[in-house]
A and B are shown apart, each in its own frame.
Chain A
Amino acid sequence: MLLILLGVLVLHLIILILLIVSTAASAWTVGGDRSSDLWYNCMTTNGGYHCKPASNEDWLQAVQALMILAVLFCFFSLIAFVYQLFRLVKGGRFFFTAIFQILASVFVMCGAIIYTVMSPDDAKVVFGYAYVLAWVAFPLCLISGLIYIVLRKKE
């Protein structure tokens, strides 16, 4: 039982770290010497590293909001997990934790989908590591939420 609990907690922490890195790093689109989105467009010229704020488009702001909400909900679910670990009655299910975790996964999915559909099509531009992390975090988050639905506190 303790092993399962530890495994579930470690998975949750990994998901939280993935989400935080994906949201904070401005590397959703990279191309040559520049990396842009979600927060800054940075370019490495021979002078140095120049950054300017990302564009004000509405879809980009929506992706920012959804990623921040995903991080927040994953964090709330972690707190709910720790709380329910000590306060839940024997045989109870971790419903609050599961709901928050599943909502977080839905938000990451929506954010990643919006970014995929709306990002401008440039020739030399490829998706960066932050984008990949967001797509990796989504199924992990969903699986983690489903595990919490199935998990029961031992009698």
Chain B
Amino acid sequence: MLTFLALASVVLLGIVPERSQAIVIYTGWERHALVGSDIRLSCSFFSWRWTSEDVTFSWTYRPDGSRDSISIFHYTGGAAYVDNKGPFRDRLEFVGNPGRRDGSILLKNLEFADNGTFTCDAKNPPDIVGRPSSVRLLVFEKVPIQAGVITGAIIGVVLGLLVLIVVIYYLMRFLVARRVFSLSVSKHGKKKKEGSQQRQGPAPPADPSKVKAAASEKKKQESRKDKK
């Protein structure tokens, strides 16, 4: 058993560094934004190696309906280089933290022409083999409501209120029964019990089932005390 474990661990340690040479890059899948607003496109990566000082991030942009990509951002050697000639000049800002493996960029003052696909590529030498990841940007004049959100919200709120009312109703019934119990314990004589029952009479709402439930509980407690 022990030899098997030792063999397995050696094999795993042998395999894992081979596979781990691939770097995995994470961006969103799709982002929705309003015209004129700002949006932060996030990009981070996973790598088995420590974050190197030569880590690089680069973003490229491909407009909707076009087949060419244009490079808009590059971070290398500790310095960020933003677009100063292309479609995003003066609108792009680097807000990432390369030390924390975050290469996010901020796009300001969005226009309808910014609809398209943004691709992030990160490299962490010597871990350089990996697939770039893309996020699609959709710019709206008015952010549309997703189907079923309002429906679900209304149904959820009403059913939640119903459950709450039922719970409160049963809680009140339980508390009233408990108060009846404590009254009959503190006052010993039968007369006092009758008095408390009479006082109980007009007070609760005219629900005969409730009074009967309270009366049956009192009878049960009386029989328990008799047994003692």
**Contact residues of A with B, CB < 8 Å?**
53, 56-58, 61-62, 64-66, 68-69, 72, 88-89, 91-92
B147 to A56, Cβ gap below 8 A? Answer: yes
The verdict on B86 contacting chain A, using a C-beta distance below 8 Å, is: no
Q: Say whether A56 contacts B155, CB under 8 Å.
A: no
Whether, in the assembled complex, B223 has its beta carbon less than 8 Å from a beta carbon of chain A, the answer is no
A69 contact from B147, B149, B155, Cβ within 8 A: B155
> How many B residues face the partner with a CB closer than 8 A?
17
State the main secondary structure of chain A at its contact with B. helix
Interface residues as binary, B157-185 with A (CB distance below 8 Å gives 1, 0 otherwise): 01100000000000000000000000000
Contact call B154/A65, Cβ cutoff below 8 A: yes
Q: Is B212 an interface residue (CB 8 A)?
A: yes
Quick check: A61 and B208 within 8 Å, CB to CB? no
CB-CB under 8 A from B154, the residues of chain A are 61-62, 65-66, 69
Q: How far is the CA of A74 from the CA of B128 in the complex (A)?
A: 63
Distance A64 CA – B148 CA, assembled complex (angstroms): 9
Are B155 and A68 in contact (CB-based, < 8 A)? yes
Known: A69-B154, A69-B155. A61 touches B209 (CB 8 A): no
Apart from A61-B154, A68-B155, A89-B208, 16 more pairs, CB < 8 Å? A53-B147, A56-B145, A58-B150, A61-B148, A61-B149, A62-B151, A64-B151, A65-B150, A65-B151, A65-B153, A66-B154, A69-B155, A69-B158, A69-B159, A88-B209, A89-B212
| B144 on interface, CB distance cutoff 8 Å | yes
Q: How far is the CA of A62 from the CA of B147 in the complex (A)?
A: 11
List residues of chain A with CB within 8 A of the CB of B155: 65, 68-69
Verify A68–B145 contact, CB threshold 8 A.
no
Some 22 contacts from A to B, beta carbons below 8 A apart, are A53-B147, A56-B144, A56-B145, A57-B145, A61-B147, A61-B149, A61-B150, A61-B151, A61-B154, A62-B150, A62-B154, A64-B151, A65-B150, A65-B153, A65-B154, A66-B154, A68-B155, A69-B155, A72-B159, A88-B209, A89-B208, A92-B208
